[in-house]
Structure 1
Amino acid sequence: MPTCNHCDGEFTADDLVRHEYERVIVVHCPDCGCVLGQYNRHSGPPKTDRRR
């Protein structure tokens, strides 16, 4: 379970607040709004992938 370092709350992954941008996903604590993580978004195969 993820734990917030700011308010010491423990949450399930479904409880966390996610903001999805074109290249980044930012995850926040639902209670205090502290940023818990920032992740690169990997969506779809690269444009050089020629598999069909």
Structure 2
Amino acid sequence: MSFITNDATERYLALLKENPEIVRRLPNRLVANYLNITQEGLSRLKSKL
């Protein structure tokens, strides 16, 4: 997963594809931190998908 060239949506989708269990089990704050986005940004991203 390339965090430098991908935007937040691409990073989130790649994480979902590679490790869906992590996204399901971890709190949003940790997932957002891993993706280098805010919790609010993660929430918006999830609602768009």
- TM-score (norm. length: structure 2): 0.27
Determine which structure has more spread, i.e. the larger CA radius of gyration. Answer: 1
Which protein has the bigger helix share? 2
Higher relative contact order (CA 8 A, sep 6+): 2
Which protein has the bigger strand share? 1
